[in-house]
Amino acid sequence: MLISGFPRLVVLALAGTALSQKPVTSLVSRRLTEYVLPVTTETHELARVPGTDFVLLSQMSNSQLVKIQLDAASEAPIAYQAFPMGKNNQSGLHGVWPSKKHPGMMWLSLQWENKLLLVDPGTDDLSTPPTIIQTIDIPEPGNGPHCVFEIGDYVWAGLKVASKQTSSFYVFSASLSNTSDTTLYPCLNSPVFIAQDPATKLVYATQDASSSIMRINTTDHSTSQLPIPPSVGVNPVGLTNALGGGLWFTLAGNATGGTGTFGRINPAKNTLTFLQLKSPLLGTNAGLLHLADAASPPGDPAPALWLLSTSLLSNASADALIRVTLDADLENIVGEEYISIPTQNAMTHRVLTLDKTVMVSELHTFTLAQLAYNNTVAGEWLPAEAASNATVYDEAG
Ligand SMILES: *[C@@H]1O[C@H](CO)[C@@H](O)[C@H](O)[C@H]1NC(C)=O
Ligand SMILES: *[C@@H]1O[C@H](CO)[C@@H](O)[C@H](O)[C@H]1NC(C)=O
Ligand SMILES: *[C@@H]1O[C@H](CO)[C@@H](O)[C@H](O)[C@H]1NC(C)=O
Ligand SMILES: *[C@@H]1O[C@H](CO)[C@@H](O)[C@H](O)[C@H]1NC(C)=O
Ligand SMILES: *[C@@H]1O[C@H](CO)[C@@H](O)[C@H](O)[C@H]1NC(C)=O
Ligand SMILES: *[C@@H]1O[C@H](CO)[C@@H](O)[C@H](O)[C@H]1NC(C)=O
Ligand SMILES: *[C@@H]1O[C@H](CO)[C@@H](O)[C@H](O)[C@H]1NC(C)=O
């Protein structure tokens, strides 16, 4: 009896000490919740239907579009309904992107059917099936639209599969005013993300396996390559316009892991610059698959990015969201915050920022993680009188 009672007394004494002192450093909470989606092997892209409480998410392995309803106040997912897209479960639904030209409509890609779809997601009700407004067939020799984007007056797609006719890869674009007016830009193996620099109007495409970024002048259709120096890392994937300073991209690494490296394209100078995470624990080996602009929390105007580290290519790289803060010149990292995804080996895939939360799709575990990035000071999530209640307990019961 004495032996078992003794350690219990020690624990209680420590608890009493902790409760009777004011904290020196407040802990901040980062609340991550994982939501279980329909069971399948590949959960990919996600986008919000602008101005609504609906997020569309693609499951490629069975070609299902998951329509997710969010709680308007908290943005927490509350219900979903999945809809088959394409002629069968092998149609390869992949890309999801909002249209600005057709407000309320969404672009989808069917990689294995070689088609782009413009759909009305049916945001009057969760159970309303998406209706197809327009279908764009990718012309030969193009093959395999992966991610889809609407940029200005064009819809774009990276054609991820080698052409049956030429064995080459292409970036596809079609004019929105005449979708028969299409262009195939020959590129390297193989195009993933496409984004435009607002100042020069130049369009860029990451090409993962060739470790190079293609630059496209849409006026004269000329293209050129910006290769990634192997010394900094390999495999550019995520690419986005961010922080009002050029385009930013991430390097996903390879089977031996990543290098924690992301970079910036300076379109005016036609140069690439690279930044590397410093933390030896989750940073320097991170394979960075995707990224997003991280809206600064109030009172912190520093420019910041969300980087998504993934175990997709190597389990030497963790599944984590990393918030990097940059200096005003966007040249140096001044802060790194690591938020591990609860389920590891989840092969985290894409990061999507909503108004006050951040979502992450987990490819391998049919899961959607949501981060409430809210600087709640430790103790202050309790009602005020409970937080200031200095009662010291003397019993564990
Ligand atoms: C696709 O559908 C076929 C026929 O209904 C079924 O046998 C197969 O299991 C399905 N595959 C997937 C990945 O859903
Ligand atoms: C649309 O583009 C196609 C291909 O360039 C062209 O043949 C057709 O005349 C165009 N249609 C209109 C209405 O301009
Ligand atoms: C794109 O090409 C056009 C036509 O050759 C040229 O006038 C323009 O300067 C080019 N744009 C850029 C940003 O290089
Ligand atoms: C992985 O990438 C690194 C550069 O980051 C390179 O040194 C290494 O050879 C690559 N490994 C494989 C298996 O391609
Ligand atoms: C990755 O995970 C698998 C399964 O847990 C394990 O067998 C393998 O050794 C791991 N590889 C690395 C590089 O950690
Ligand atoms: C953060 O949490 C506080 C307290 O629960 C809440 O009042 C506030 O609305 C939250 N802010 C965001 C951005 O969610
Ligand atoms: C403080 O907490 C104790 C233990 O739960 C409770 O009995 C007491 O009523 C609380 N006091 C106040 C002011 O809430």
Residues β-bridged to residue 394 = none
| Distance from residue 389's CA to the centre of ligand 7 (Å) | 6
Nearest CA to ligand 7 atom 11: 389
Half-sphere exposure of 74 (CA within 13 A, CB side): 9
DSSP 140: T
Nearest ligand to residue 89 Cα: 1
Query: Are 316 and 257 a contacting pair, CB within 8 Å?
Result: yes
User: Which amino acid appears at position 79 of this protein?
Assistant: A
Of 310, 315, 344, best ligand 5 pocket probe by most atoms within 8 Å of the beta carbon: 315
Would you state the pLDDT for residue 384? 46
| Ligand 4 proximity of 233 Cβ (cutoff 6 Å) | yes
| CA-derived radius of gyration, the chain | 23
For the whole model, what pTM was predicted? 0.86
Nearest CA to ligand 3 atom 10: 217
Q: What is the pLDDT of residues 180-207, one digit of tens each?
A: 999 999 999 999 999 999 999 999 999 9
Of 196, 215, 216, 220, best ligand 3 pocket probe by most atoms within 8 Å of the beta carbon: 220
Of 388, 389, 392, 395, best ligand 7 pocket probe by most atoms within 8 Å of the beta carbon: 389
Alpha-helical segments (H) within the chain: 2-19, 384-387
**Geometric angle at alpha carbon 35, from 32 and 37, rounded to 5°:** 150
Q: What is the pLDDT of residues 309-319, one digit of tens each?
A: 999 999 999 99
Q: Is the pLDDT of residue 56 over 90?
A: yes
Specify burial of residue 8 (Cβ count, 10 A radius: 0-12, 13-18, 19+): exposed
Would you state the pLDDT for residue 93? 98
- Mean pLDDT taken over the chain: 90
Place of tokens 């036609």: 270
Ordered domains of the chain (ranges, CATH)? 33-137+346-379 (2.40.128)
Pairwise CA distance, residues 84 & 103, whole Å: 23
Q: What is the pLDDT of residues 149-185, one digit of tens each?
A: 999 999 999 999 999 999 999 999 999 999 999 999 9
Query: What's the distance, Cα to Cα, between the start and end of the chain in Å?
Result: 17
Closest ligand 6 atom to 374 CA: 1
Nearest CA to ligand 5 atom 9: 315
Region for 364 from its dihedrals, namely left if φ exceeds 0, alpha if ψ lies in -120 to 50, beta otherwise: alpha
